[in-house]
Structure 1
Amino acid sequence: MKTEAPRDRFTESDTIVVPAHPKGFHDVFLEERRWPNLKIDKRRLDSLKYIAVYQTGPVSAITHYGRIKSFKSGEKNGRYDVHLSGAPKELRHVPYTIADICALQGPRYTSLKRIQAADHLSSAFPT
């Protein structure tokens, strides 16, 4: 009987999704191409390739992502400024719907592939 090797949740999660208010989304993510003071589990730094943004209301959807260029350690332990390589790209929006338990409240890990296949917010994240 063939058994599958256990999957590594860190290497499967190549994307961190962050909630953003309109001003921070436009001024920082789109214009400055970075995301500041983000709490990230240091064990995940090597596997993260992308950062995606969930725009809070009135948009209420994951709308953009960018390739991570670098992490700069913040003043607080476990906090990083994430810098992008190039301009963020718009995604087919992944909305918060009635099928979802709750909107995104803090950073969550997933894969870009899962986000691109999702039809609503909860389906963008592993269970």
Structure 2
Amino acid sequence: MSKPYTIRLFVPDGDPSTFKIIDKMNWTGTGLEISREGWAKHKNRNEFEQAGIYILFGYQEGDDLPTLYIGQGDGVRKRIESHEKNKEFWDKALVFVSSNGGLNRAHITWLEWALIQKAQNIGRCRLDNSATPNEPILTESEKADTQEFLNEILSILPLVEVKVFEKAKKIKVSSQPSDIKRNILDTIIVPAQEDGFKDVFIGENCWYAIRIGGGKLKDIKYIAAYQTAPISAVTHFAEVESIEPYGDGEKYKLNFVSSAKAIGPIKYGRAKQGILQSPRYTSYDKLQSAQELMDLFD
């Protein structure tokens, strides 16, 4: 059963975008969030001389999933200093050390191993780690204490916008028909290039990464694919079984009930240029009767 807890944030230089110290009541650890830009200013703090675990976080160009590097060191400063020169993807680093000097090499190696395992199992990020360490041997009591330290880290990370260690919670889509009288926009039309359409929409029976406003999530029941030029038409649709967060941002993955079905095609027709550069909403009834794109949105 989840327990309530208190997190305290301290911003030493008054700029929360560059450096924060994270403290949790009744915890023997300290967390630090530091931006890449703030590293040069704050890297000489005593906390970075200690043994600890760190997570580098950022995005590779063109990737919807964040990239992480998980590491550890007897003194994390030297490790992050090296990564500043050799790894371009990261925008911020999360560092966790003991507030009483209680972490040793075995503890931090176990934490590194456990975080890598969890990230791989959850699958909401890309890992920049080239190798996965073996689980280090700890005594029963050491493992229990280190597991508790890990639990504290995992409770803090979502509060600093790192959610990739949490299992995505699927939103089950209702099978009840939409209330036509309320004109609910229950269908999302997504632009799809040839490779993505064939590999994902048809091949995986899902679609990602879609930005959907929170107020729309409860209404979505169907998804349709607009194949970009040279086809330039809506050609397939599918019933949505569930919706789940994708990656670490406000984007979602839609899972289909079954394989997509052919429709139309609903041709571009008199639509204005750029009308489907991003997802748009319509109703299932309009999708079934439309002859061209503007019939979906009139």
User: What TM-score do you get using the length of structure 1 for normalisation?
Assistant: 0.86
Q: Which runs of 5+ in 2 are unaligned?
A: 1-180
Match of 1:28 among 200, 205, 208: 200
| Residue 108 (structure 1) aligns with | 280
Question: 2-side partners of 1:34 and 1:86: how far apart?
Answer: 9
Aligned residues: 117
Post-superposition offset of 1:77: 3.5
- 1:11-44 deviation digits (Å, cap 9, x = unpaired): x101000000010000000010010111011111
| Residue 66 (structure 1) aligns with | 238
Consecutive aligned runs of 4 or more in structure 1 exceeding 4 Å deviation: none
More helix by share: 2
Give the partner amino acid of 2:284. L
Alignment of 1:84-123 (within 5 A): 84-97=256-269, 99-102=270-273, 103-123=275-295
Give the partner amino acid of 2:277. Q
| Residue 55 (structure 1) aligns with | 227
Aligned residues: CA RMSD: 1.4
- Secondary structure of 2:262 counterpart: strand
- Secondary structure of 2:199 counterpart: helix
User: What TM-score do you get using the length of structure 2 for normalisation?
Assistant: 0.38
Q: Per chain length, whose mean CA-contact separation is higher, i.e. which structure has more relative contact order (CA < 8 Å, sep 6+)?
A: 1
Q: Which runs of 5+ in 1 are unaligned?
A: 1-6
